[in-house]
Amino acid sequence: MALVSLVSAFDLSPVQDFCVVINNSAVFMNGKVCNDPKLAIVNDFFFSGLLTPQNASNLVGSKVTPVNVIQILGLNTLGISLARINFSPYGLNAPHTHPRATAVIVVLEGTLYVGFVTSNTDNRLFTKVLYPGDVFVFP
Ligand SMILES: *[C@@H]1O[C@H](CO)[C@@H](O)[C@H](O)[C@H]1NC(C)=O
Ligand SMILES: *[C@@H]1O[C@H](CO)[C@@H](O)[C@H](O)[C@H]1NC(C)=O
């Protein structure tokens, strides 16, 4: 007798184009409570102000301007968000994780030493020095 067990796991295909957050909803594991799609407005998909430099003169020498589901309610469940980071010379963006999210960085000015450590293999470190116009992906 042979027993065969097949297991497959994957993210479900989205069944809707978007899921604008009801902004006062509680946080759930995989996204927040969606508003009725018929009630979506253009500003649910809009943010302004990312060109404004922020003051990075603080203990860590960096200032993050997040543009995630808090700022753009329509980003809920889409798996993307944005941020601007201003760095002081030798500033640092402390090591952190991005559960179920990928970050893509574009350097506009200066030189930036970036890297990540893999968690699903052998804790390999990938690092690189980036220059203006360079793009790097943090899986
Ligand atoms: C930036 O913040 C530092 C520390 O709070 C302050 O001393 C400095 O004046 C600020 N610079 C600007 C341009 O606002
Ligand atoms: C959503 O609510 C939070 C907390 O009250 C607030 O900071 C944020 O600006 C709101 N976002 C939008 C897009 O209204």
Q: How far is the CA of 21 from the centre of ligand 2 (A)?
A: 10
pLDDT(106) > 90:
yes
Pocket around ligand 1 at a 6 A CB cut-off: 55, 57
- Residues 35 and 83 reside in one and the same domain: yes
Domain that holds residue 30: 15-88
Q: Is 96 annotated as belonging to a binding site?
A: yes
Tell me if 18 sits within 8 A of 69, measured CB to CB. no
Q: Is the pTM of this model over 0.85?
A: no
- Residues 21 and 70 reside in one and the same domain: yes
Tell me if 112 sits within 8 A of 135, measured CB to CB. no
- How many Cβ atoms are within 10 Å of 121's Cβ, its own excluded? 6
The pLDDT, as a whole number, for residue 56 is 97
The pLDDT, as a whole number, for residue 34 is 87
- Residues 77 and 106 reside in one and the same domain: no
Q: 125: pLDDT confidence band, cut at 50, 70 and 90?
A: very high
CATH number reported for the structural domain that contains residue 29 in this entry: 2.60.120.10
Q: What is the mean pLDDT of the chain?
A: 86
- Residues 24 and 66 reside in one and the same domain: yes
- Residues 101 and 82 reside in one and the same domain: no
The pLDDT, as a whole number, for residue 15 is 67
Nearest ligand to the CA of 23 is: 2
The pLDDT, as a whole number, for residue 80 is 83
